[in-house]
Amino acid sequence: MKLNLIEESINTELEIIIIKNNNIESDNEVLQKLNFKGEIDTSALLPELGKLYIGCGEYSSDNVRCSVAAAMRIFSDTNFCEAIIEAGEYLAEVVEGIELGSYSFTKYKSNKDNKKEIEKTINILVEKVDPKTIEIFEDAVNLSNSVNMVRDFVNTTPEDFYPKIMAKKAKKIAIENNLEIKIFGEKYFTEQKMGAISAVGRASRHDSRLIHMTYAPANPMKKIVLIGKGLTYDSGGLSLKPADFMVTMKSDKSGGSAVLGIMNAIAKMKLPIEVHGIIGAVENMIGGDAYKPDDVLVAKNGKTIEVRNTDAEGRLVLADCLCYAQDEIQDFDYIIDYATLTGACVVGVGHYTTGIMGNNILLNNKLQESALKSGELATILHFNKYLKKTIKSKIADICNISSTRYGGAITAGMFLDEFIKEENKQKWIHCDIAGPAFVEEIWGCNPYGASGAGVRFTVKFMKDLIAE
């Protein structure tokens, strides 16, 4: 999709018109016959008039973004080659809607849709094309492209995307953006006594990787550490998932993929914040060398973990990644982890919402506010002191699953809290993206499958920090 910024309206094959607050000003007779009232999630394509009406409902940032995305799905499915849309005060949202709504994943389609091959152009009408407008436009393009890159990573099958490939993708991003990158393997895990991450990937034919990327601009205003769960596939290990639950487990790398996308976006935007991106890239499989329920693992910080379920593996990978980050990176302001960690979070808050957890209520609120402003849904799940006893072990320091089936998202977050040093507990946030990361339907500005969850709200969080 080619995007042009223009200051004056031009004639094109198609005009995309966003209807706000059900306020239809023209073509009333035709639209009435189609029973189009301009309500949100409704549309009316009038090819003979060269117009596409999209209902927006209440005029807000996210409604505009989602409405434009809906328009792009319709536009992409036609043979129209050029369209015009007025941005008004929502240039960033219009651009994001165009880029995110135009996304499709056709890598494994043998017969490509010819309509997708047609080069299409969108002319975006703005009041003035000046340096500020261009900056907003370019930031929105870079952000959207990074989200779509994450979608591609997550949608790719486990046979084509395993820890070594994830490391290669990270290296490619690092080279393109002049980032520092370090990649560690099994030998390093043994030397550093990282028994948790090592155990999870032990039965896979693909060796695990720990990836550490660094974006370090001159005179950074803040220093942030991002950690992503990169389970390139999760069979459940010896605690094998039921067949139906194993499908879509290519999405278990969504947290690590989000970190890759964030690193790409902030480097292209040249944000004045030092950012470290750390990913535990692992495949959890079965075999004679698989780690087992009843094993006791020793994490990098020396804490012992009783394994009672090998499908609670993401928290084991993150435990060692969190320890690594706190040992290797000094004087950071915030540490944020991203993981498709628990089905319990999906049960609790639904498919579309990220669960935010941590010890610092004000920090949790700040991230949630940034998420909502970015158009990503998020809610805070508060730690509960009465649940802490449910992850205690009789034979080790801690157990990798709770003794109760209730509050599973929170107990998983509290497990991770055991690997946060005391001096860093007020700096840490855990984001359970199990719900929004991969949904088997179109929703908002997101397609079927991977959404790229976490990228937009983290970039917004950083921009909000800069603006303080």
pLDDT (tens digit, 9 = 90+) per residue, 211-254?
Answer: 999 999 999 999 999 999 999 999 999 999 999 999 999 999 99
- Domain 157-467, CATH number (from 3.40.630.10, 1.10.760.10, 3.20.110.10, 3.40.50.2300): 3.40.630.10
For residue 266, which phi and psi values (nearest 5 degrees)?
Answer: -70, -30
What residue type is 354 in one-letter code?
T
Confidence of residue 112 (pLDDT cuts 50, 70, 90): low
215: left (phi over 0), alpha (psi -120 to 50) or beta: beta
The listed CATH number (3.40.220.10, 2.40.10.480, 3.30.470.10, 3.40.50.1820) that belongs to domain 2-129: 3.40.220.10
pLDDT at 392: 97
- Cα 428 versus chain centre, distance: 18
Domain ranges of the chain: 2-129, 157-467
Higher-pLDDT residue of 20 and 66 is: 66
Per the rule left: phi > 0, alpha: psi between -120 and 50, beta: everything else, 449 is left
Kind and range of the H or E run holding 4: strand 2-6
Residue 389 has pLDDT above 90, yes or no: yes
Cα–Cα nearest to 99, from 64, 147, 134: 147
What average pLDDT does range 420-444 have in this prediction? 98
Q: Is the pLDDT of residue 114 over 60?
A: no
Active site residues: 241, 315
Across 340-410, the runs of DSSP E, i.e. the strands, are 353-357, 377-380, 398-399
Q: Is the pLDDT at 28 greater than 90, yes or no?
A: no
SS3 44: strand
Per the DSSP assignment, residues forming a β-bridge with 284 are 234
Rg, the chain, Cα only: 23
pLDDT at site 58? 87
Pick from 226, 234, 258: nearest CA to 376: 258
pLDDT single digits (tens) 127-183? 999 999 999 999 999 999 999 999 999 999 999 999 999 999 999 999 999 999 999
Are 2-129 and 157-467 in the same CATH fold? Answer: no
